[in-house]
Amino acid sequence: MNALGSASPERRRWRRTLRTGLFWTALGFGAACISYACDPDVAARSLGFDRALSILFLALVPIPALALGVHGLALALRLRAAAGLADRTAEELATLLPEGFVVVPHYRPSDGGDDEVPLLVVGPRGVAVIEPREVIGEVVCCQDEWYGKRKYGIGRRLAGASASQLARWNASRVRSDIATGGFSRTTVYGLVVFTRATLADVSSSCVPVFAGLDALVAHLEHDTPPVGRDRSRAVADLLAPTPPLAAA
C-alpha cells in the first residue's frame, strides 16, 4: 500500500511520463540510425525479402518507438500543465482560506492507481476533492461532458476527461482512504473550479461547479455541514502527515 500524503515531485506522473517518452524517442532514433546504416542488399539476403520489401521494412522499424515517444512527450506536457495549475490553485487557496483549512496538492491515493488527485482541501466542513480547470471563455455541461459555448450554440468539446466525472471518481478514492484510517463518517465531496472561465448551463454536472476561486472559497467556508476543527485536523494529518500548505 502506498503511503498517504502529497506525492513527492520526483514521483509525479508527468515526470515519469516524460522519462518514458524520452526513452522511446531515443530508442526510435537509434533504430532509425541503424536502419539507415544497413545495406538493403545485405538485409534482403538476411531477411529473405526482395530489395524493395527490405527497404520498406527498414523504414518501418523505427516508427512504433517514435510514435510511443511522441505520444509520451505530448502527454507529459499536458500533465505538466495540469500539475502547474494545481500548484497555482493550491497557493491561492492557501492565501484566501481562513485558519483551519489545509490544502494538499498532488495527493496520492492508496489504491495503487497511476493518477494522482490534483487538489484536496481539508477543513472543518469535510474534505473537498477539487478538479481545477483553466479554460478561457464560457463553458457548458451536457450530461457531464464539457464544451466551450459560442454565440450561436455549443462549440468544441473540451480536451481531456470530464472534469466532473474525475472529481466524483477521485472523491470516492479519497473516501476509501479516509474510511481505512478510521474516519468513515467524514464528508468527502467532489468539486470543479474553472479559474478563468464563466459558466453557462452546468446543471447536469454530477458535482458542484464554480467559476473563480472566490466562489469556491465561499462554498468551502459556508455551504457544507461542519465536522469540528479537531476532527478536521486529524483527517488532515491522515491525508498529509506533513501538510504542504495551510491557511494562515
Picking from 16, 207, 212, 202, the residue whose alpha carbon sits closest to that of residue 96 is 212
Distance of CA 106 to the CA centre of its chain: 9
Tell me the average confidence (pLDDT) per consecutive run of 10 residues in the chain, 248 residues long. Answer: 46 79 91 82 75 80 90 87 89 87 87 83 87 90 88 78 92 87 77 90 91 91 56 56 52
Specify if 106 maps to a domain.
yes
**pLDDT score at 4:** 42
pTM above 0.75? no
Specify if 2 maps to a domain.
no
Domain count, the chain: 1
**pLDDT score at 3:** 33
β-partners of residue 145 are 142
Specify if 3 maps to a domain.
no
Phi, psi of 38 (to 5 degrees): -70, 145
Contact present, 217 and 93 (Cβ < 8 Å):
yes
Specify if 221 maps to a domain.
yes
Structural domain including 228 reads: 9-246
